[in-house]
Structure 1
């Protein structure tokens, strides 16, 4: 194991990695408009905190949000506090800082496991993975969640391999914060370390994880949120809507098994790790056949971390590319350990060339994709049409939270076009996906105001009840 403190030369490398990472993360920061409910949800919760002071249980359209704990909403509110408003840029600040946290933790773990040469490789590889470079710009919980998981594993490395049991307190605290970010998925590091201790020390191994202060701290972090959600939702709604639907069925696999389960999981993981996923088979083979007995313990931990994370996410009922983001730091560790051990004469030049091509290619792609998405979206035109109106706004089959964010007012989601008929007499506006236009009641008094693309899907905006309410036209 390397010395317990970073040496000055390695500290300079760390600063260089962080500065380089910050430049890659900030070149077009906050420029891309939100197009999905997932992107708009936590900025809206943060706005509710700043506007109405609902810190404990922020609300969406006046309803307490219980699907996810509010930690990210708090962070966005704090980032937006100096400007007194939640913007596209301020909403993404926590994700940017979390990405730097991922890089810092990955750098430190690589140094502790594989030495000083591996640390900068791990940091630079992680920042040029597709998942990290894109999700660091998104106001969703995944990057914060990944930072907490990676930091928790860093604390475990310090406790288990560094024989400093006090770090278990930090480990359990970070697991608790991960739960406050994304719910039960935050318990993932517990599965990793349980498997690692059992594999290494036998069935008595988990006893090494005992830490009374740490476990008390974890319980103190978990119980308040669950108790608060139970108190607000009520017994039946809590167990059905929150515990069962949002916390259990979201993760537990359901339905018939097929080969598509495996292929989709591999495809999502491959994408989030690009371009470095091309090296994953090579470094996994290297790690599994390491000749050095001293390195086998450390490599086994990294492989268990990688495999456990992939399997648990792949078995989840819901599949999204961003759910595989926690694979990025552990894959970077494997690549760093492998790369630092190479004896090529021009190893540094080869790595630098590959890294520059990767960083340049991904940055250009992100910039062009963001500019293209902003150019084709119809959001600005729709917002201009409705911004100065006071009548209610209804939505059918469109991301209503996106419109609520940019209009700075509630947008009521209807389950079907037929639900609009009882509300037509009161007037208002309707934002509806074009694909369900045929289902609109024929006698509904509406007038077309605007059309456009939102999240690459055509939508239309109608005034309901005649011209007297169409104040934006």
Structure 2
């Protein structure tokens, strides 16, 4: 009979290891929160929509300025509005959903690995996820994808625990419910249910370790009910309200979000067209260093297939199904493949545990760490001392003084972080050296660069300059605007639609300006200039996010001029 006190000690030790891991993950993922405002392209949009929800109490139909925003369901915006309300509008509130989604994903991977194998495998699986560049990069931004990743991983967790450690119907229903929440987050949460395909095949072929139930059709059907129930939490009141009001705007919203942004976007993509092998290239570029271990695991996976090991091949086949699912449509973005990462890490982890015991892996990892120190340190020192043209262009794009001196110091600091980690852990613990260097890099970079770049990236400085230029009694109108401009506005502004053609916006803006020419100014992206502009009356404001903006007083437009479409930018 096992020693109960020893088991208790082991359990405490394992939980303590997991606790330390989560503290490291918190330091890596939370570094920089509160030091910047939302940055384009996506963050200002969602933060603006969330803030307008709080101000208007309109929760079912998100607005971007005066227009309904139907590109995405409102789940992320709800959560951001909640954090804004809870923290009183704290500057970093918009990043909290991503932070907790990332931490929650890591906890789920650890729990799933612990239940399927043991706590050590679970910790390695979670570490593989955290070590992957794309995961950290995405979680440190306030996009929909971290929350979507959490729901899909929760869906996978519930289904796998039922199918491999069951029957556990509550976990199965929870997994299906989480997939539904993923649908009302980004629409693709349904991919979590693809896990039932390899399960059905393995069950039919009588793989050992697969849960087999008899006469439980109604319980399996309960998963579909849980999935639909989660979707209905938003869909039913939204449809009831839209069809109750029956205005053209709300009916168009329903059609766009339910059909154009889902089925039509998948079957007939109109943006981001890429080749079918696009995601393989994404994995090679952005899943470093995790994918570098895959070639050494292929023989192990082959043995697992021969032994019919479902704990490896259910998540691995699901990974392949997701890769195929997102590769079929023409439209592809790098972020789409991220939800497949946790299941690949789970299939890798049992064998990575053995790789960590080899002599060659720590040595290779140590030399990679030194290589990173040399690359970052050398590149930063070269940009700092030689001021090459590429460094000057980068500095000018961010409007940084002194050829971006402080930015290159941050690059050097990242290199120093890798070097310090290598010196601390030495070749014998080379894997720890590499992971430590990466962790320091992800902490040093945002702490150093967020305060440096935020004024330009968030357009805060631009809007402050515009506010000062128009005076205390001035009124501001936005033309060809971006969400960050409205988010950073220092006073109430007029806007003339977001999705409308810039020429139509400018036409209406001039009519608005004519009503009070002494006090009304137009803030415009210079790309929207037409041939009615009086160039010497324009007030340039500079560059923000590599776009030039200017202020137009009433005198900057020729009276009675009709712009020529041929020269409108």
Distance 1:279 1:208 in 2: 41
Q: TM-score, normalization: structure 1?
A: 0.84
Instruction: Name the CA shift for 1:156/1:466 in 2 (closer, same or farther; >3 Å).
Output: same
Gap regions ≥5 residues in structure 1: 468-473
Residue number among 65, 68, 72 corresponding to 2:69 in the alignment = 65
1:78-93 alignment to 2 at 5 Å? 78-85=82-89, 87-93=90-96
Query: CA separation of 1:447/1:328 partners in 2, compared to 1, >3 Å: closer, same or farther?
Result: farther
How far apart are the structure 1 equivalents of 2:473 and 2:288? Answer: 45
- The structural deviation recorded for 1:417 is 3.3
Contact 1:70 1:181 (C-alpha < 8 Å) held by counterparts: yes
**Of 17, 20, 29, which residue of structure 2 is paired with 1:16?**
20
Name the SS for the 1:451 alignment partner: strand
**Equivalent residue for 1:351, pick from 421, 424, 431:** 431
Deviation at 1:372, TM superposition (A): 5.8
Give the drift of 1:407: 1.0
Q: CA RMSD in A?
A: 3.4
Matches within 5 A, 1:349-388: 349-366=429-446, 370=450, 373-374=453-454, 377=457, 379-387=459-467
User: 2: CA distance between counterparts of 1:237 and 1:343?
Assistant: 55
> Is 2:510 aligned against 1:424?
yes
1:292 Cα deviation from its structure 2 partner? 7.2
Give the corresponding residue for 1:232.
Answer: 242
Q: What's the counterpart of residue 298 of structure 1?
A: 311
Shift in Å at residue 145 of structure 1? 0.7
Check if 1:460 corresponds to 2:549: yes
The SS at the match of 2:355 is coil
Gaps of 5+ in 2: 1-7, 207-211, 363-428, 514-519, 557-569
Tell me which stretches of 4 or more aligned residues in structure 1 moved more than 6 Å: 203-209
**Pick aligned residue for 1:287 from 301, 305, 309:** 301
* Contact 1:106–1:329 (CA under 8 A) maintained in structure 2: yes
Cα displacement string for residues 424-473 of structure 1 (whole angstroms, at most 9, x for unaligned residues): 14224444444453xx1325699433333333x22122224149xxxxxx
- Report how far residue 403 of structure 1 moved: 0.8
The alignment status of 1:222 with 2:225, answered yes or no, reads no
Q: Residue 345 and residue 60 in structure 1: after superposition, are their counterparts in 2 closer, same or farther (change >3 A)? A: closer
In structure 1, what is the Cα distance between the partners aligned to 2:348 and 2:34? 31
Shift of 1:200: 0.6
Paired with 1:271 and 1:93, the residues of 2 have a C-alpha distance of: 27
Do the aligned partners of 1:151 and 1:174 also contact (CA within 8 Å) in 2? yes
Aligned pair count reads: 453
Question: In structure 1, what is the Cα distance between the partners aligned to 2:299 and 2:326?
Answer: 22
**Could you say which residue in structure 1 is the equivalent of 2:483?**
401
1:236-282 CA distance string (max 9 Å, x none): 62564233321122222558xx9x51343222233342232322343
TM-score normalised by length of structure 2: 0.71
Structure 1 residue 391 corresponds to structure 2 residue 475: yes
Which whole-Å CA distance do the structure 2 matches of 1:297 and 1:378 have between them? 47
1:199 to 195, 198, 201: 201
- 264-273 vs 129-138, which moves further: 264-273
Distance 2:326 2:521 in 1: 41
**Alpha-carbon distance in 2 for matches of 1:289, 1:102:** 29
Contact 1:417 1:441 in 2 (8 A): no
Matched, 1:320 2:330: no
For 2:512 and 2:50, the matched residues in 1 are separated by 31
Q: 2:541, 2:548 within 8 Å by CA — same for their partners in 1?
A: yes
Cα distance in structure 1, aligned partners of 2:315 and 2:77: 32
Q: 1:450 aligns with which of 515, 535, 540?
A: 540
SS class of match (1:394): strand
Matched, 1:140 2:155: no
Given that residues 466 and 551 in structure 2 are in contact (C-alpha distance below 8 angstroms), is that contact kept between their aligned partners in structure 1? no
Indicate the structure (1 or 2) with the bigger Cα radius of gyration. Answer: 2
